[in-house]
Amino acid sequence: MKIPKTIDELQEDLKKKKYSATELVRYYIERIKKYDKKINSFLTVSEEYAYSKAKAVDKIISNNKNFFNEFPLLGTVVAHKDLFLTEGIRTTAGSRVLSSYVPSYSATVCKRIEKAGAIMIGKVNCDAWAHGASGENSDFGPTKNPWNIRFVPGGSSSGSAASVSSGFATFSTGTDTGGSIRQPASFNNLVGLKPTYGAVSRYGVIAMASSLDCVGHLTKSVRDSKTIFDVVRGVDGKDSTVVNSKFQIPSSKLMKIGIPKEYFDVGIDGEVQKNVYSAIDVFRNAGYEIAEISLPHTKYGVATYYIIQTAETSSNLSRYDGIRYGEYRDKFGDEAKRRIMLGTYVLSAGYYDAYYLKATKVRSKIIEDFRKVFDLEGIDAIIAPVSPSPPFKLEERTDDPLKMYLSDILTVNASLAGLPSLAVPCGFSKNGLPIGFQIIGPKFSEYTLFKLGEFYQSQNNWINKEPDLEE
Ligand code: GLN
């Protein structure tokens, strides 16, 4: 069975009855059984559930082929990050604390995706509580990068990325607090959307750091990313940070793209620079105006993020007190404990002003940097690398938390500013590992990012390359 890469093509096949949704699910399940032992992307395969949904989908399709207009995700197969609550199906957050937790309701995003016709195939691995940039903090063992299993798939949405690039699902959901969708997407040759803070409901998604958490998804194409965004965005009445904002309508003229010099400074791997510069050339050659810009507070991003994020994390994790959801607090892993301690420290009397309060002020400076380029310099969108290096080797950074934290240097600033950012694949390193770039825009400019991303993929589509799982 040859499964196409995008939602449109998949639905075309289903319409033409090349295969049924049930056959599609069987194909994925068999593939997971055959190959996931070495990738470790799934924590729970919801086989029975998937077959029963597939049966329902097949019934809908046989009744009326036009249902594809009514159900935009009809027949697609989704893997949810194990941070998303799924009614009746175990949800662990990648942590032993929740190893036997079965939620009594589903996250808004899971419900909306299901209502649009998608079939959930299972729950995928992640760094415990979404703390990490490599997938190695999962209490259920690290996920491996399908492009080379000696390398990390990125994190924290490690299983979300590895499952889609391994061909175990059509798309996956993820969360991005400081880069956890964009970085694993770019380590796996995928498109990853971190929406504007407040564009998508987080109801039913286990919280990491509440002023930063965003819910998004990983796909092969930008067009699919847009299709899913249309389904999940908007007010649900259950997450008060969500607003039904007017989304920016993409400009019909050639836009002005800013290249932040701080994102290409020393410390960025040469191959990453080269590939991202070639992506920029695609826009330049098509007549887009490319301007060098400066975001001078970029260098304070990691320090600011790791104060604000740990403060909020320590507060959010206090609800796991051994009484309500699962196991005792001694089941927390090292990284969660580190963040609880750091966060408690920066919030404690005597240190609050010196660390937490100061970090919130620097955050304002970072927000202001972006505002200046978008509002005063007329920049429509920013293009930059996602990660300072291609995927790194397993265990390369596990002994040194600071080194791991520095993996986030190019993603945390958009998070601190609440801006949308779309990661798009732009090639491979010499040893065959994926590299991506990100397009960052002003708040609620998602459709501008999609337009730019779709243009890039129309010129240079790397998604036709696939990892070889037989190796
Ligand atoms: N790597 C970052 C961290 O560990 C980002 C995590 C995330 O976005 N969930 O905090």
pLDDT in tens, 274-287: 999 999 999 999 99
pLDDT at 265: 87
Paired sense of beta strands 434-440 and 421-428, if any: antiparallel
The answer to whether the CB of 227 falls within 8 A of the CB of 447 is no
CA distances from 434 to 43, 165, 380 (A): 24, 11, 27
Query: Which amino acid, residue 142?
Result: P
Mean pLDDT of 234-254: 94
Q: At residue 323, does pLDDT exceed 90?
A: no
The mean pLDDT value for 164-192 works out to: 98
The answer to whether the CB of 23 falls within 8 A of the CB of 51 is no
Per domain, the residue ranges of the chain are 7-300+359-464
pLDDT at position 66 is 77
Angle between helix 334-347 and helix 301-316 axes, rounded to 10 deg: 100
Residue-wise pLDDT tens digits, 266-321: 789 999 999 999 999 999 999 999 999 999 999 999 999 999 999 999 999 999 98
- In which order are the strands placed within the sheet that holds 381-385? 42-45, 119-124, 77-81, 171-176, 214-219, 191-194, 421-428, 434-440, 381-385, 256-260, 289-293
For atom 5 of ligand 1, the residue with the nearest CA is 178
pLDDT on residue 1: 86
Which residues are marked as active site? Answer: 81, 156, 180
How would you label 328-366 residue by residue, b for 16+ Cβ within 10 Å and e otherwise? Answer: eeebbbebbeebbebbbbbbeeeeeeebbeebeebbeeb
Q: Which atom of ligand 1 is nearest to 306's Cα?
A: 10
Torsion sign across C-alpha atoms 197, 192, 403, 277: negative
What mean pLDDT do residues 263-267 have?
88
Mean pLDDT along residues 165-179: 98
Distance between Cα 95 and ligand 1 center (Å)? 15
Whose CA is closest to 386, among 366, 419, 416, 414?
414
Residue among 126, 134, 156 to mutate when testing ligand 1 (max atoms within 8 A of CB): 156
Ligand 1 cavity residues, CB under 6 Å:
130-133, 156, 175-180, 208, 309, 408
Q: Ligand 1, residues 302, 408, 413: which to mutate, most atoms within 8 A of Cβ?
A: 408
pLDDT more than 70, % of the chain: 100
> Of the ranges 139-148, 154-163, 195-204, 458-467, which one carries the lowest mean pLDDT score?
458-467
Determine the atom of ligand 1 nearest the C-alpha atom of 175. 9
Ligand 1 centroid from CA 177, angstroms: 6
Q: Output the CA 393–ligand 1 centroid distance in Å.
A: 18
What is the Å distance from ligand 1's center to 93 Cα? 13
Task: Please give the Cα distance from 334 to 398 (Å, whole number).
Answer: 11
Compute the distance from residue 106 Cα to the ligand 1 centre, in Å.
Answer: 23
Pocket test of ligand 1: the residue of 84, 127, 304, 338 to mutate, having most ligand atoms within 8 Å of its CB, is: 127
Model confidence at 326: pLDDT above 90 = no
Q: Which CATH number is 7-300+359-464's, of 3.40.50.10740, 3.10.20.30, 3.90.1300.10, 1.10.10.10?
A: 3.90.1300.10
72: pLDDT strictly greater than 80: yes
